[in-house]
Structure 1
Amino acid sequence: MGELEQTLEYGAWPSPIDAALAAAHDGQPDAVGFVGDEAWWTEPRPTEGGRRALVRRTADGTPRSVLPAPWNVRSRVMEYGGLPWAGVMRPEGPLVVFAHFADGRLYAYEPDAPGAEPRPLTPLSSVGGGLRWVDPQLHLDRGEVWCVLEEFTGDKPGDVRRVAVSVPLDGSAAEDRDALRELTEARHRFVTGPRLSPDGRRAAWIAWDHPRMPWDGTELIVAEVTDDGTFRELRTVAGGPDESVPQAEWAPDGGLLYVSDRTGWWNLYRDGVPLCPREEEFGGPLWRVGQRWFAPLENGLIAVVHGKGAGRLGVLCPDRGEVVDTAGPWTEFAATLAVHGSRILGVGAGAHRAYEVVELDSRTGRARVIGAAHQDPVDPAYYPQPRIRTFTGPDGREIHAHIYPPRHPDHTAPEGELPPYVVWAHGGPTSRSPLVLDLEIAYFTSRGIGVAEVNYGGSTGYGREYRNRLRERWGVVDVEDCAAVALALADEGTADRDRLAVRGGSAGGWTTAASLTTTDVYACGTIIYPVLDLANWGAEETHDFESHYLESLVGPHAEVPERYVERSPMEQADRITAPFLLLQGLDDPICPPAQCERFLARLDGRGIPHAYLAFEGEGHGFRRADTMVRALEAELSLYAQAFGLNVPGIPTLELNK
């Protein structure tokens, strides 16, 4: 113990990381790209209504916002969106096209032109969710931009079609739907944007259909491009019902590169030949159209994001099948890459660094931060020191987790006191928790509350077999694995058995609610924009993309209706005995608030302490600073009350019964 350390019970440690500071650092840069020699990307703006700003790094090295508020460079295709912009450099300056979140339209903008304003390229539609756009690819020689159109044909979430289209750059389609040229027939429910081969003669894209999700099985389609720009002679060259291809690109010499998990791991292929066969991932789940885990360079090398349980940035030599990883403090890179000459752009983070825009020179191996640079807002001594752990679950199965013990530079707990711990269940559920600096986690650990992020069975990053553990067992494996980690921490003397909590958002909200209804492990829980009602969620209440997701997670409803009843927190609400906090966005199209309202009605008069905070203007995932502050402080107050903690300086959450 240092001379200045003071003894104070867990939860009572004073921390400079308040909720406002955590909210200000929420989110990460994304959608990196080059416009000529300039690096561009998008960044979150929590204090500007939660919009995403488009940022360019000009010749003097200064990052500048391209568009003022309220312009929001973000797509709503499949609700999760994807790549929302593309740009090229012309002699007179950059030309950028982007999707604007507020109205869904595609716009063109020349930021260096005097008095220029964004001009719409696509029309509006009053039908259902309207017309939406994602994954644009600029083709100046053709005077058009290729992208994915999501077109609603009615008012129901499933009244929708998606197709690759050509949008004229002259603005002739801004008021005329007929001026859009569809590149393919709407043969598939879901498609990515087509990529044009270097010789302009072939196009490649990815497609899939209900009931498969893109990590279950997709098709890689190649077509011949005629002189008039239409596609013909379509053929499937990879993928299938049990083979997931999440990305495809053309190499500069015309070879077709793609990622496939045909071996059980997402590996990289060229024209069907594996380039670096390993038991690790070179791809991931395609939640957003236009995600990139690899990018071919002009010299034949390939920038890759790869790893097992983490995504490192490296450069692959296809001839030798070897990868040289980037040196630096970044241990996790997001699924966004861009290349220009020998330069590689990515978004990287580490255990003590938030996500930042990183540029790697593939010739020298030198990497540097060029945007959204991490700056410690407080002394890093307040950050947790995470531990990568593997636990044993039911049937001896492995469970991967990141453990964040309480940490404070000036305070320690009384001898013999064990800390409270909160188990964090990630969303998806086909996703994972990356090991990166998160000030929301530090908000708790710096006060004396430990956090355990559990990459339960079904998580990505560990191969298809691990991912498939959740098939038809959602609400079982995820709940068991989270509980196994929590109890193991208690059994080994790391955590206080009587002061365990569980929290999660979206699918993690489901796991939290299911944990509270089926186990007695936790003293309380925080349920954030959750799935609660299986029978109604998939069939009627969610968006089209995930409307058949439950067929793989739970099973076909017509065949196993009893599972939908047995596992739904909605149907098991009378089993909850622990206090809980329920957080919900009122504009959430993925997990709508109606579920929360029905769930609370089931609990009415049962005397279970709880609070329900619903936020206007918030969708699936909170983006506004004021929302995040209120939610985080409410969560901490719940733990203070359930664990008997003396937490100074936060509003008391009123719990109803």
Structure 2
Amino acid sequence: MPEAPYGSWPSPIDAALVAAHDGRPEYLGSLGEELWWTAPRPAEGGRRALLRLTPDGGDAVSVLPPPWNVRNRVIEYGGRPWAGVARPDGAGPLVVFTDFADQRLYAIEPDAPGGPAPRPLTPRSSVGGGLRWCDFHIHLELGEVWGVLEEFTGEGPGDVWRLPVAVPLDGSAAEDRSALRELDTDRHRFLTGPRLSPDGTRAVWLAWDHPRMPWDGTELKIAEVTGGPRPRLTAVRTLAGGPEEAIAQVEWVPDGTLLAATDRTGWWNVHRVDPDTGHAVNLCPREEEFADALWRVGHRWFAPLDNGTIAVVHGRGTARLGILDPATGELADVPGPWTEWSPALATFDTAVAGIAAGPGRHHEIVRLDTATGHCRVVAHAHRDAVDPAYYPEPRARVFPGPDGREVHAQLYPPAHPGLTGPAGTPPPFIIWAHGGPTSRAPLVLDLEIAYFTSRGFGVAEVNYGGSTGHGRAYRNKLRERWGVVDVQDCAAVARALAAEGAADPDRLAIRGGSAGGWTAAASLVSPATADVYACGTISYPILDLTGWAVDETHDFESRYLETLVGPLAKVPERYHERSPVHHADRITAPFLLLQGLDDVICPPVQAERLLAAVAGRDVPHAYLAFPGEGHGFRRDDTIRRAIEAELALYLRVFGIDRPDAPVLDLNGATR
């Protein structure tokens, strides 16, 4: 095979193609045999469309035209933004959804004459972030929608409360806040939407309070439903959970018992819970995860089926779909090329549908008939936009880390059907640090990764200590050690690849967004790792821990650092010592800084503080700021510009020539 320098290979995977395939379907649900979900539209301003697939064999259709954007800002990351019911009178489905522009809850009847005409159900609010809604359920017999209300009481990010509320379906609350019914007075800072028992006499939900995050500890709440046609939740009590037990999901089953995904064994396993006593039985004891971090309210990792079995998403570092027999504990995995299933299962009769991807496939909507074992793609079918020979062939690896700990990573070596690198010359490698940090990088086809590997760069995604997917003990490795363990583990992978001859030790880069941006920046200022990397890409990062802990982020994560770093009042010096903004004098490697100007999670002031700290120093860098973008980029033009700028950085620093090299000013210019 012909040889060419790594990084110089021509590729059909351009930035426009990456942008067009950015994002994935989310929040799948069923209305009878219909499937509904949201899907990204990068070319339409980054909105989320609401799609509908009827069982007649046709294609999925977008229910609402632009600019309707089915998304909400509950806890800023958003929660389940729609719910629906198949009405028994033949009138077709009734669906409610939140629109991102005003955060109001709307109702539509898509089969009504003249098509869907959304009508508002909730009022506007001019206070702070207004009224926001998520994780709701329609109760036709009550004429109400039950869900989570997030209401701001002032202008500060912490001036907020969340509570379960009933919204009238008749629209009487559209201009009248007093028409909304608060369902209980058992206040918690965070909660999921209440689920009614099959007989309608009880309800359950999850709740937690600062400083805990939902993967640290949650409480399973249960209440009596009393009050006739306008019921409330009374006699609220904690059934299970606590400060060191994280319950990620709870669901009723037809016999009136509960299913809950709890990590009381050190792993998120599915338990059957007695609603009277709280006694729990592990239905499938395994050192595997049957849930993950609850970053978005309304995620669903398991779903009971009508035949008594349970569809479960499970795995260790992966997320496969299986069918669990609760009577025997037997678990049968669904066959096929999908190794990563999203927490968005939809069931009807003995069928289950989900959103699935694999190392060579984008996210698809897949339907399984458990009675026959037949599994098929019903929407978003994967189609190779280019010859798949340009895709990398990834593999999972475990590397030795400091103190003998394991470091999990996924390697994506350079791949090209017509070229190889010069013999005896290792390729440049980019170390990717995922966000969260209590999260993980899945092993799936990602055209952004293929953009680099098809040009001759290697990519290593590091699921550093603190990542999910490997049990609570691995997840807890980051407690009070953020900025240490994640930095060490990324460097351990980079050094191991160089020692193996798999990566060029002089052409290593680190990149990440959000918490990954923190890890990238911290790696460039750490005396123990700064010499590892030739450059870095830092996207919408946390850079100043003290500012972020005091008033520079949203309510959901405002106390997160107490676990990741320690209480600010007790260890203020730790906040200062680990913050990259206070050690900008240590940065010698060129870097690219990318920031959304509407980001309220990692606001621009953090990036601007770093820029001020490096001003006047001879450190090549560029800052690209994007109006209209929040935490993570959604618009196609932003995605294109960001990925081209990142490539330009690596080409410049690694000394690679190519005729189509994007232009990037590394003189500290802001654009």
- TM-score, scaled relative to structure 2: 0.97
Question: Residue 315 of structure 1: which of 323, 342, 355 is its match?
Answer: 323
1:256 equivalent in alignment to 2:258 = yes
Paired residue for 2:25, among 23, 29, 32? 29
1:543-591 Cα offsets, whole Å, 9 max, x none, are 0000000000000011111100110001111110000000000000100
Taking the aligned partners of 1:278 and 1:363, their CA distance within structure 2 comes to: 25
**1:520-555 CA distance string (max 9 Å, x none):** 110000000000000011211000000000000000
Tell me which residue corresponds to 1:476: 484
The equivalent residue for 2:42 is 46
| Contact 1:433/1:454 (<8 A) preserved | yes
One-letter code of the match for 2:145? V
2:320 aligned with 1:329: no
1:252–1:297 Cα contact (<8 Å) kept: no
**Which of 546, 566, 582 pairs up with 2:557?**
546
Q: Which residue of 2 aligns with 1:160?
A: 160
1:555 aligns with 2:566: yes
1:75 pairs with 2:86: no
CA distance in 2, matches of 1:199, 1:117: 33
Residue equivalent to 1:375:
383
Q: Is the 8 A contact 1:14 1:648 kept in 2?
A: no
Query: Which is further off, 109-118 or 391-400?
Result: 109-118
Cα drift, residue 6 of structure 1: 2.1
* 16, 19, 23: which one aligns with 1:20: 16
Q: Which residue of 2 aligns with 1:280?
A: 288
Of 371, 390, 401, the match for 1:393: 401
Q: TM-score, normalised by structure 1?
A: 0.99
Amino acid of the structure 2 residue aligned with 1:168: P
Tell me how far apart the structure 2 counterparts of residues 319 and 113 of structure 1 sit (CA, whole Å): 44
Distance 1:596 1:587 in 2: 13
Contact 2:250/2:261 (CA < 8 Å) preserved in 1?
A: yes
- What letter is aligned with 2:96? V
Quote the sequence identity (%). 69
CA positional deviation for 1:335: 1.0
Q: Distance in 2 between matches of 1:415 and 1:289?
A: 51
Alignment counterpart, residue 58 of structure 2, candidates 37, 58, 61: 61
Q: For the residues of structure 2 that align with 1:648 and 1:430, how far apart are their CA atoms?
A: 40
Q: CA deviation at 1:185?
A: 1.6
Q: Deviations over 1:163-201 (max 9, x none)?
A: 000000000000000000011125100010000000000
Q: Take 2:460 and 2:92, find their aligned partners in 1: how far apart are those partners?
A: 49
Q: Is 1:194–1:204's contact at 8 Å kept on the other side of the alignment?
A: yes
In structure 2, distance between residues paired with 1:417 and 1:648: 22
1:607 equivalent to 2:609? Answer: no
Deviations for 1:445-496, whole angstroms, at most 9, x for unmatched residues?
A: 0000000000000000000000000000000000000000000000000000
2:443 aligned partner, one-letter code: L
Matched, 1:503 2:500: no
Q: Is the Cα–Cα contact under 8 Å of residues 582 and 611 in structure 1 kept in the other structure?
A: yes
The equivalent residue for 1:217 is 217
2 CA distance for matches of 1:145 and 1:616?
35
Counterpart-to-counterpart distance in 1, 2:491 and 2:385: 34
Kept after mapping to 1: 8 A contact 2:647/2:662: no
Q: Secondary structure at the match of 1:246?
A: strand
Q: Secondary structure at the match of 1:280?
A: coil
Query: In structure 1, which of residues 428, 449, 463 is the aligned counterpart of residue 436 of structure 2?
Result: 428
In 2, the alpha carbon distance for the partners of 1:114 and 1:593 equals 47
Across the aligned residues of Structure 1 and Structure 2, the Cα RMSD in angstroms comes to: 0.8
Match of 1:503, SS state, is strand
Structure 1 unmatched ranges of 5 or more: none
Distance 2:550 2:321 in 1: 40
Q: Report the AA paired with residue 587 of structure 2.
A: I
Choose the corresponding residue for 2:537, options 503, 512, 526: 526
Task: Please state how far the C-alpha of 1:647 moved relative to its aligned partner.
Answer: 3.0
Instruction: Give the SS at the match of 1:395.
Output: helix
1:240 maps to 2:242: yes
Q: Which amino acid aligns with 1:71?
A: W
- Residue 61 of structure 1: CA displacement? 2.7
For 1:104-503, what aligned pairs fall within 5 Å after superposition?
A: 104-115=103-114, 116-185=116-185, 187-226=187-226, 227=228, 228-271=230-273, 272-503=280-511
Distance 2:379 2:254 in 1: 28
Question: In the TM superposition, what whole-angstrom CA distance separates every residue of 1:398-431 from its partner, at most 9, and x where no partner exists?
Answer: 0000000001000011112110000000000000
Task: Tell me the equivalent position of 1:103.
Answer: 102
Q: Secondary structure at the match of 2:580?
A: coil
Q: CA offsets per residue over residues 118-153 of structure 1, 9 Å max, x none? A: 000000000000000000101111100101000000
Of 578, 602, 609, the residue aligned with 1:598 is 609
For 1:629, the equivalent position in structure 2 comes to 640
Choose from 88, 97, 100 the match for 2:85. 88
After TM superposition, the structure 1 stretch with the greater mean CA deviation from structure 2, 55-64 or 428-437, is: 55-64
Structure 2 residue runs of 5 or longer lacking an equivalent are: 274-279
Which amino acid is the alignment partner of residue 386 of structure 1?
P
Following the alignment from structure 2 to structure 1, what is the Cα–Cα distance between the partners of residues 496 and 57?
Answer: 53
Distance in 2 (CA, whole Å) between partners of 1:513 and 1:571 is 11
Answer whether contact 1:386 1:405 (CA < 8 A) is retained.
yes
Which segment is superposed worse, 608-617 or 59-68? 59-68
Assess if the C-alpha contact under 8 Å between 1:162 and 1:186 holds in 2: no
Structure 2 residue identity aligned to 1:270: R
C-alpha distance in 2, partners of 1:552/1:179?
39
Find the counterpart in structure 1 of residue 276 from structure 2.
none
For the residues of structure 2 that align with 1:314 and 1:412, how far apart are their CA atoms?
A: 39
- Contact persistence 2:186–2:236 (CA under 8 A): no
> Using the alignment, how far apart are the partners of 1:626 and 1:653 within structure 2?
16
Instruction: For 2:12, give the aligned amino acid.
Output: P
Give, in angstroms, the shift of residue 299 of structure 1.
Answer: 1.4
Letter in 1 for 2:39: E
